[in-house]
């Protein structure tokens, strides 16, 4: 498909889109970051950093100082793997863009009128107003229109290798990821789960991994640089690896380690990838849990806490403090009259994420902020009569209870990459966990 042959609306797309999801609509966006305004909750806003997602100032490659070249229509929750394909390509190719978020549970009429499938992603190019949807078609269009940074190898043999991979492991019916998801959820999508089939499904996955493994054994799939093959498979493999090890004890990441290592060195991927806890939470919400699945191991911890992640997390929370307070008051179970207490605990958490002091010499989060409402000291209680002393102890305890509920709620509310990068989300949760241990 070439730019000259692309009309204002491409009538046929092929390659995936998302139609379900949730979250609030947000029309505010910048070329480099997902901006969630005060009306959106959770509203931990993506922000430019001094140290960057991977402690690298170039970690987000779309410059916010350049005018956008296209509008990217995507889901609000950043759960859609097809949207992540396009997002990753935009970052890797360093194309300035702006986002418009579409509530997939309540799609606006303007979007369904514009995109016949009603699915995200979609992209409208500013130069000629051309609209393209379906992730594979958008990726091809990006390659045609913006050739300066290529996702197609220059070498003909490598290009053929890339295309073979896409045909076998992206477009075919029984791909590695399709077979992996059958094992993860206990059958095909829409089928009733049958635990007796799990050994058979695992055997099928083992065979699929052995078949696909040579593509992943040398880092990037088609040469020494990221290509369309990596972009198209990354979202599905990322989610599958995080969930298989938690729900099935199957370590796909270890089996495909060279590829994961190469991708996670890529700043563009660091800006768009999710973290294991987010992926585990999404799977629980989408597929539910049976009784025998209720006791699960913690999410895998392969994303380190970094100063850059801590800085981003703290700044996100500070930038959106009003919205996060409102969200916690509305949805965590605390009372509206406790809004000031909620704010104090969230501000304390944000302050504890100051990147210059968050990590100890071993790279471990070391800050353990104390409760803003400690139990009154013995000296303070001596100065009160018995009734006043009892009231003071109860009041401080109630405020600590509000604070603990707030921190626990916001800790589990954060979703990467919707609200912040994966590195920031990991640092955010580490700080929240540390804070929770010191509230009482």
The predicted pLDDT at position 295 comes to 57
The predicted pLDDT at position 190 comes to 78
The encoded tokens of residue 162 equal: 């890339």
Burial class of residue 118, CB neighbours in 10 A (0-12, 13-18, 19+): middle
The predicted pLDDT at position 259 comes to 98
The predicted pLDDT at position 354 comes to 75
The predicted pLDDT at position 42 comes to 37
Please give the Cα distance from 72 to 65 (Å, whole number).
17
The predicted pLDDT at position 298 comes to 72
Please give the Cα distance from 404 to 432 (Å, whole number).
10
DSSP letters, 164-227, are: HHHIIIIISSS-HHHHHHHHHHTSSTTSPP-GGGHHHHHHHHHHHHHHHHHHHTTSSTTSSS--
Dihedral, 274, 276, 277, 281 alpha carbons, nearest 10: 80
- H/E element holding 141? helix 135-145
Overall CATH class of domain 1-31+66-151: alpha beta
The predicted pLDDT at position 355 comes to 52
Domain ranges, ordered by start, for the chain:
1-31+66-151, 156-225+227-265+273-293, 307-439
What dotted CATH number matches 307-439? Answer: 1.10.490.20
pLDDT along the chain (440 residues), means of 10: 26 50 30 36 37 34 72 93 97 96 93 95 97 97 97 96 98 96 89 88 98 98 97 98 93 97 96 93 76 62 85 92 94 95 96 66 58 84 86 92 96 92 93 91
User: Of the CATH numbers 1.20.1050.10, 1.20.58.60, 1.20.1630.10, 3.30.70.20, which one belongs to the domain with range 156-225+227-265+273-293?
Assistant: 1.20.1050.10
């Amino acid at each position: 498909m070439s730019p000259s042959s692309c009309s204002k609306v491409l009538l046929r797309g092929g390659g995936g889109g998302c139609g379900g999801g949730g979250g609030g609509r947000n029309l505010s966006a910048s070329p480099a970051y997902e901006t969630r305004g005060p009306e959106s909750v959770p509203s931990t806003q993506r922000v430019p950093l001094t140290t960057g997602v991977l402690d690298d100032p170039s970690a987000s490659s779309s410059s916010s100082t350049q005018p956008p070249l296209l509008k990217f229509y995507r889901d609000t929750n950043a759960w859609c793997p097809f949207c992540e394909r396009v997002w990753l390509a935009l970052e890797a190719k360093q194309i300035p863009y702006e986002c418009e978020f579409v509530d997939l549970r309540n799609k606006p009429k303007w979007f369904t009128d514009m995109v016949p499938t009603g699915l995200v992603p979609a992209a409208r190019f500013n130069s000629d107003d051309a609209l393209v949807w379906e992730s594979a078609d958008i990726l091809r269009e990006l390659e045609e229109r913006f050739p300066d940074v290529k996702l197609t190898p220059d070498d003909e043999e490598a290009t053929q290798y890339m295309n073979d991979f896409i045909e076998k492991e992206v477009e075919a019916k029984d791909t590695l990821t399709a077979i992996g998801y059958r094992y993860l959820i206990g059958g095909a999508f829409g089928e009733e789960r049958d635990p007796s089939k799990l050994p058979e499904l695992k055997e099928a996955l083992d065979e699929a991994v052995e078949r696909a493994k040579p593509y992943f054994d040398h880092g990037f799939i088609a040469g020494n640089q990221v290509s369309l093959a990596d972009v198209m498979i990354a979202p599905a493999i990322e989610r599958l690896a995080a969930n298989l090890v938690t729900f099935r004890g199957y370590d796909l990441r270890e089996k495909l380690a060279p590829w994961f290592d190469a991708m996670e060195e890529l700043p563009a991927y660091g800006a768009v990838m999710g973290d294991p806890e987010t992926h585990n939470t999404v799977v629980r919400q989408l597929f539910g849990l049976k009784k025998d699945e209720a006791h699960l191991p913690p999410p895998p911890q392969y994303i380190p806490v970094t100063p850059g992640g801590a800085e981003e997390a703290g700044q996100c929370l500070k930038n959106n403090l009003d919205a996060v307070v409102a969200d916690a008051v509305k949805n965590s179970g605390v009372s509206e009259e406790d809004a000031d207490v909620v704010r104090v605990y969230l501000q304390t958490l944000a302050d504890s994420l100051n990147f210059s002091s968050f990590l100890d010499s071993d790279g471990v989060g070391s800050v353990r902020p104390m409760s803003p409402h400690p139990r009154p000291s013995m000296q303070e209680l001596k100065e009160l009569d018995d009734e006043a002393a009892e009231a003071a102890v109860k009041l401080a305890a109630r405020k600590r209870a509000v604070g603990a509920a707030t921190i626990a709620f916001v800790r589990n509310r954060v979703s990467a990459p919707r609200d912040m990068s994966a590195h920031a989300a990991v640092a955010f949760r580490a700080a929240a966990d540390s804070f929770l241990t010191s509230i009482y």
